[in-house]
């Protein structure tokens, strides 16, 4: 995300001796150490250092250029812990001098391995002149990924003190506020950005478009953002086109969404936008949501024809084929790459398909298979299991799964369950108006320190309305829980108050 961009902006290390027997080595020599490390399995972290030691025993040397190539290659495959092991050993053994580039690479890798305390220690040890925007952005992204808003805001305030020179930290904070549903803070930061004198870029407007959608704004607000972009001479890139297509789809404007995706596909074929499997995957997901079978087939075949098909591609493929009702294709993909895998995301992709089908028996069997191959059940696994039980009306088994989730993750700092899981449970009680049962769930969730969101309180408000209880205190209650009321909150409370006033003897629908 932001940090990858920051590191890519840094000048590469000076190339003196590359990797060789004390003399300059060609590119082929450099690649040899990379390939040795890339040949390791993801879990073989303890074999990284022995591989480097063996390389040195063979008469080769490790230099800044070679280390940089190794780290970039491992990072590209998200093998952050292996990269960190390599960098740590080289730093601790003083194999090469560590300059600005190497030190920030180490800080970034440490943050990506969820070592918060150690990352902060490394940050504090940085020379003052190195504690600039790039270093602060590493902290911001770490806090964003771990949902540590208060720490992120303190870090942002420190960064303001030394001067913000780019939109990168703003992008991270805007994304954080959008994720948390904090509309007022988001809008205050937009005002700050527009008054900062920094040149607004496409990434800023892409985040702004997504926020206008997620905060419940109407299409007029979205069209205003598009008009502002046009006025500044900015065109949507491929990511922006996908964001707009998603907004149109969620607003029920399917034809507009299809037109945007069709234009995007033409732009990719003409070379106006660069093709990548990441873009193809997102297009696959969008066409899946639209139910366009032909487009899903077409995009999937283009992915298969690419140089390398990854596990990530299959995850998106399973979900997309499941959405368009091609169960045989979805299951075939799952059986090919996922059924004996230890990657929970692969299992979760097919589990999500079974949940949409309401197939409780097969969903439970899949979870048992995950346990059988010693694949850890993730927060998403529990979320989907709860969802399929509720879909079948089995609240007792959903509650047991909810308690299992608490037991598995309640004492962990990371990962944390999504607030969407609690919202799904509460939505079930909207039908019954069971305020007491809902409050018990919320109390347990808060005791575990799990994240809350506006969506949770919106579901709880509907339970209260259905149960005939008062809802006037909810804005204050949300603020005391660290959740900002949104425009949707105001609309919902107004709708409930009006309904109860005009239909005092009827249940809220």
Helix axes 2-9, 100-112, angle to 10 degrees: 170
Spell out where 293-388 has E strands: none
Angle (CA) 236 237 243, round 5°: 75
Model confidence, pTM: 0.75
pLDDT for 13 equals 44
Query: 68-75, long-range: CB within 8 Å, 24+ apart, which pairs?
Result: 68/12, 68/13, 68/101, 68/102, 68/105, 69/30, 69/31, 69/34, 70/33, 70/34, 70/37, 71/105, 71/109, 73/34, 73/37, 73/38, 74/37, 74/38, 75/4, 75/109
Report the 10 Å Cβ neighbour count for 414: 10
pLDDT for 29 equals 52
The better pLDDT of the pair 385, 183 is held by: 385
Q: Is 181 helix (H, G, I), strand (E, B) or coil?
A: coil
Cβ(454)–Cβ(488) under 8 Å?
yes
Residue 20 has pLDDT above 50, yes or no: no
pLDDT for 114 equals 77
pLDDT for 8 equals 46
**pLDDT, tens digit, 9 for 90 and up, residues 33-68:** 888 999 998 889 999 999 999 999 999 988 888 899
User: What residues have CB less than 8 Å from 312, skipping those under 6 apart?
Assistant: 277, 281
The better pLDDT of the pair 128, 508 is held by: 128
Residue 28 has pLDDT above 60, yes or no: no
User: In the numeric block, which tokens belong to residue 31?
Assistant: 């690649």
**pLDDT, tens digit, 9 for 90 and up, residues 198-215:** 999 999 999 998 888 777
Helix extents (H) in 163-253: 168-180, 183-194, 202-214, 219-231, 238-250
Quick one: which of 195, 186, 222 has its CA closest to 206?
A: 222
The better pLDDT of the pair 151, 26 is held by: 151
pLDDT for 508 equals 61
CA-to-CA distance for 500 and 508, rounded, in angstroms? Answer: 7
Report the 10 Å Cβ neighbour count for 170: 24
Residue 506 has pLDDT above 70, yes or no: no
The per-residue pLDDT of the chain, averaged, comes to 89
pLDDT for 308 equals 77
Quick one: which of 238, 248, 333, 329 has its CA closest to 280?
A: 238
Question: Using 50, 70 and 90 to split pLDDT, how confident is the model at 291?
Answer: very high
Least confident span in 175-189, 193-207, 417-431, 489-503: 489-503
Question: Using 50, 70 and 90 to split pLDDT, how confident is the model at 470?
Answer: confident
Residue 393 has pLDDT above 60, yes or no: yes
Element (H, E) at 31: helix 27-38
Residue 492 has pLDDT above 80, yes or no: yes
The better pLDDT of the pair 197, 412 is held by: 197
Number of residues that make up the chain: 509
User: In the numeric block, which tokens belong to residue 148?
Assistant: 């540590």
Quick one: which of 349, 275, 326 has its CA closest to 305?
A: 275
**pLDDT, tens digit, 9 for 90 and up, residues 294-340:** 999 999 999 998 877 889 999 999 999 999 999 999 999 999 997 88
pLDDT for 215 equals 78
Residue 382 has pLDDT above 80, yes or no: yes
pLDDT for 27 equals 44
Query: End-to-end alpha-carbon separation of the chain, Å?
Result: 42
Q: What is the DSSP-derived secondary structure letter of residue 416?
A: -
Question: Using 50, 70 and 90 to split pLDDT, how confident is the model at 501?
Answer: confident
pLDDT for 15 equals 32
């Amino acid at each position: 995300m932001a940090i990858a961009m920051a590191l890519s902006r840094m000048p590469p290390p000076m190339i003196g001796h590359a990797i060789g027997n004390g003399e300059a080595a060609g590119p082929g020599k450099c690649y040899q150490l990379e390939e040795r490390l890339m040949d390791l399995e993801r879990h073989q972290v303890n074999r990284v250092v022995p591989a480097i030691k063996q390389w040195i025993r063979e008469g080769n040397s490790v230099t800044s250029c070679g280390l940089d190539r190794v780290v970039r290659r491992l990072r590209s495959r998200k093998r952050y812990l292996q990269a960190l092991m390599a960098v740590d050993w080289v730093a601790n053994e003083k194999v090469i001098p560590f300059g600005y580039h190497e030190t920030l690479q180490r800080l970034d890798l440490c943050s990506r391995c969820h070592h918060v305390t150690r990352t902060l220690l490394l940050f504090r040890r940085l020379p003052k002149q190195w504690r600039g925007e790039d270093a602060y952005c590493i902290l911001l992204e770490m806090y964003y990924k771990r949902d540590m808003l208060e720490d992120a805001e303190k870090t942002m305030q420190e960064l303001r003190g030394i001067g913000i020179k780019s939109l990168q930290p703003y992008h991270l904070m805007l994304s954080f506020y959008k994720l948390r549903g904090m509309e007022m803070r988001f809008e205050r930061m937009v005002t700050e950005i527009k008054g900062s004198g920094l040149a607004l870029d496409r990434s800023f407007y892409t985040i702004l478009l997504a926020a206008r959608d997620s905060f419940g704004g109407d299409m007029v607000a979205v069209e205003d953002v598009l008009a502002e972009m046009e006025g500044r001479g900015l065109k949507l890139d491929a990511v922006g086109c996908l964001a707009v297509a998603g907004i149109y789809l969620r607003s029920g404007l399917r034809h507009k969404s299809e037109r945007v995706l069709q234009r995007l596909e033409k732009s990719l074929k003409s070379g106006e936008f660069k093709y990548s499997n990441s873009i193809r995957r997102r297009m696959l997901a969008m066409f899946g949501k639209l139910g366009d079978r032909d487009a899903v087939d077409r995009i999937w075949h283009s992915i298969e024809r690419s140089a390398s098909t990854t596990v990530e591609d299959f995850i998106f493929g399973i979900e997309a084929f499941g959405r368009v009702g091609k169960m045989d294709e979805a299951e075939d993909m799952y059986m090919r790459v996922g059924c004996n895998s230890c990657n929970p995301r692969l299992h979760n992709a097919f589990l999500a398909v079974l949940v949409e089908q309401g197939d409780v028996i097969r969903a439970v069997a899949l979870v048992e298979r995950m346990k059988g191959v010693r694949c850890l059940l993730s927060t998403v696994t529990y979320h989907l299991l709860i969802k399929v039980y509720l879909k079948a009306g089995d609240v007792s088994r959903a509650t047991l799964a909810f308690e299992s989730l608490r037991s598995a993750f309640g004492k962990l700092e990371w990962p944390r369950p999504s607030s969407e899981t609690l919202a799904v449970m509460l939505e079930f009680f909207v039908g019954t108006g069971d305020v007491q049962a809902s409050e018990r769930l919320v109390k347990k969730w808060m005791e575990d320190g799990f994240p809350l969101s506006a969506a949770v309180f919106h579901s709880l408000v509907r339970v209260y309305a259905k149960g005939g209880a008062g809802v006037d205190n909810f804005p204050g209650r949300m603020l005391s829980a660290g959740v900002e009321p949104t425009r949707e909150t105001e609309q919902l409370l107004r709708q409930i108050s009006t309904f109860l006033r005009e239909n005092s003897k009827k249940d809220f629908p």
